[in-house]
Each structure stands twice: as C-alpha cells, then as structure tokens.
C-alpha cells in the first residue's frame, strides 16, 4: 500500500469514488469497495471523510470547483463577451470527458438520495454555476452582444436548464438527441439566438 501525503490521498479517494458512484450509484457503492479499488484499508477513508455521505458531498463540491476553474482557464485569453459566452455554450461539463462522471454522480444526488446535506451541496453548486454564467451574460449585454429584453439572471437559468437537460439525455444515450436532420445542434441555436450568427 503506497503511502501518500494527505492531500494527494484525499484526491485519489475522490477520483476512485467518482468512478465507483458513477457505476454503482450512491446506494450501491460501499466504502469497502472504495477501499479495495483505491488499494487501501477502509479505516484510511475515515481519516479523510467522516462518512460516505461526506465523501459524496466533497465530490459534488469538487465537481463544481473544477467546472468553474475549467471555464476560467478557457476564457482567460478571450476578451470579446460574445465569444466568451459562445465558448461556455460549447463546453457543457456534463458531456465532456473530464466532467461526465462527476456530473453523473451529481445527478444521482437528485434522483437517488433524499438527504438535506447532499441537496444543499447540489443547490450551492448550481447557484455558483448560475452566478458565473450570469456575469458573462451581463458583460455581453453591456456590449450589446446579447439582448437586454430579459434579465441576465433568467437567461442564465435557461442555459443551466438546457445544459442539464442535454446532459441527462446524453447520459441516457438517447440516439440523435440535440440535432435535427440538417445537423443543426442545440448549442448552435442558443449561440445564434444569444450572440448572433458570427458566434454560432
């Protein structure tokens, strides 16, 4: 059993837990399975997390942080508000290779678990995503790249809702979802409606 610094061990446990929860669900995954797949003894898990629930909450929180960090990195060299918004539309973390499992776990928190602490973590995660997107829309509205007919807040909720719905359909492997017969995609429609054809 390799001895890792506490921070690295915690991240390793979150990585393994993400895969395990994504495959087996919250109820189906056990800490003994997690320990086995991580190559450690079960008591080591409890040095880092009080319970399976706390581990699950930490995973939701990490998924949210990673999404915002990824968006910040991708937008770092883009100054045009319309292009920044178009980039976000093109980067739905629910279907990206790096974010897919984390968001599948997050969806389980909605459909599988009736737990106040887990629901709170999920709600805070969505609120932070919404706030980030709202700020980007406000910037685009200030430069007349996005209509000001609707508030930035409600437009941001539309994007969050569409993104979540698309992610769910993707996880369900619904054939052809998101496209029409001409090849037009949902994100193309949103980009054209919000920021014009030059960004679609």
141-192 pLDDT, tens digit each: 999 988 888 999 999 999 999 888 888 887 777 888 888 888 888 877 877 7
**Per-residue pLDDT tens digits for 116-142:** 888 899 899 999 999 999 999 999 999
37 in a structural domain: yes
Q: 54 lies in a domain?
A: no
Provide the residue range defining the domain that includes 110.
59-199
Indicate if 96 and 194 belong to the same structural domain: yes
Task: Find the helix packing angle between 100-111 and 6-28, rounded to 10°.
Answer: 50
Tell me how far CA of residue 179 lies from CA of 85, 141, 174, 175, in angstroms: 21, 28, 11, 10
Residues 26 and 66 in one domain: no
User: Does 189 fall in a domain?
Assistant: yes
147 and 87 in a common domain: yes
Provide the domain count of the chain: 2
89 plus 174 within the same structural domain: yes
CATH number of the domain bearing residue 160:
1.10.357.10
């Amino acid at each position: 059993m390799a001895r890792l610094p506490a921070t690295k061990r915690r991240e390793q446990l979150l990585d393994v837990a993400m895969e395990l929860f994504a495959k087996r669900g919250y109820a189906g995954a056990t800490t003994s399975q997690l320990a086995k797949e991580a190559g450690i003894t079960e008591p080591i898990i409890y040095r880092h997390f009080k319970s399976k629930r706390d581990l699950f909450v930490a995973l939701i929180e990490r998924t949210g942080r990673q999404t915002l960090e990824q968006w910040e990195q991708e937008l770092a060299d883009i100054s045009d508000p319309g292009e920044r918004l178009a980039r976000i539309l093109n980067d739905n973390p629910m279907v990206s290779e790096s974010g897919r499992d984390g968001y599948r776990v997050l969806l389980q928190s909605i459909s599988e678990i009736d737990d106040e602490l887990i629901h709170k973590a999920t709600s805070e995660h969505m609120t932070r995503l919404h706030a980030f997107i709202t700020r980007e829309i406000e910037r685009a509205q200030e430069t007349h790249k996005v209509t000001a007919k609707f508030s930035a807040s409600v437009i941001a909720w539309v994007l969050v809702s569409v993104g979540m719905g698309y992610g769910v359909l993707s996880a369900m492997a619904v054939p052809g979802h998101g496209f029409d017969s001409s090849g037009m995609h949902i994100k193309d429609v949103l980009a054209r409606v919000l920021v014009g054809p030059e960004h679609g």
